[in-house]
Amino acid sequence: MAKIGVLALQGDVSEHVLALERAGEGKIQAVLVRKSGQIEECAALVLPGGESTTICRQLESSGLTEELKAAALSGKPILATCAGLVLISQEIMGSSEALVKPLGLMDIKISRNAFGPQKESFEADLQVKGLDRPYRAVFIRAPAIGEVGRGVEVLARVGDAVVAARQGNLLALAFHPELTMDSRIHQIFLKMLEA
């Protein structure tokens, strides 16, 4: 049974575990990743939403940064949601703060809290490439992708802002698919394991 790791340093970890189990229909095992050596055992990895400044700090102190980079480069499917999207980006636009050091795994430039602070949480019906009907997406202090590189496929937008994109084995979302019962996004992610 394929092990899917959920980076469990901070954020909505248990929600992703449940969402993976729902989408996987008994064919996958979700495991919490906290320690060095665990990423290697996983076939794919989820970087959950939460607070990217905190996750970034904890990644460094846990020594997982290099293992995470290696997993991305080796082609393991990675689902990065919200704060996770911030982490895998190339650059945080309009920011001089060094609180979050993006890992530079995906060729995207992002803005943090692009839709405003906590109050600006909202839901939207997205047209997602590859899905035949709209996906109701939950946004919480969401980042947005402002620029995408050539190898990046845009999957969904809210207005001009790109909110879902894929680059090979990397699937990045500004919203929280783990907070709704619609499993279609996690299913797309698990399908990436077959590729």
Task: Please choose, from the candidates 172, 97, 100, 179, the residue with its C-alpha nearest in 3D space to the C-alpha of residue 138.
Answer: 179
Q: Is 123 helix (H, G, I), strand (E, B) or coil?
A: strand
Compare residues 28 and 174 and give the one whose CB is closer to ligand GLN: 174
Which tokens sit at 142? 């969401």
CB 76 within 8 A of CB 169: yes
Query: Left, alpha or beta for 22 (phi > 0: left; psi -120 to 50: alpha)?
Result: alpha
Compare residues 51 and 147 and give the one whose CB is closer to ligand GLN: 51
Task: Please choose, from the candidates 179, 108, 178, the residue with its C-alpha nearest in 3D space to the C-alpha of residue 144.
Answer: 108
Nearest approach, Cβ of 56 to ligand GLN (angstroms)? 9
Residues annotated as part of the active site: 82, 176, 178
157-195 core/surface letters (b: 16 or more CB in 10 A; e: else): bbeebbbbbbbebbbbbbbbbbbbebbbbbebbbebbee
Compare residues 135 and 175 and give the one whose CB is closer to ligand GLN: 175
Compare residues 28 and 172 and give the one whose CB is closer to ligand GLN: 172
CB 177 within 8 A of CB 137: yes
The residues of the shown chain that bind ligand GLN, judged by CB under 6 A, are 49-52, 82-83, 86, 112-113, 140-141, 143
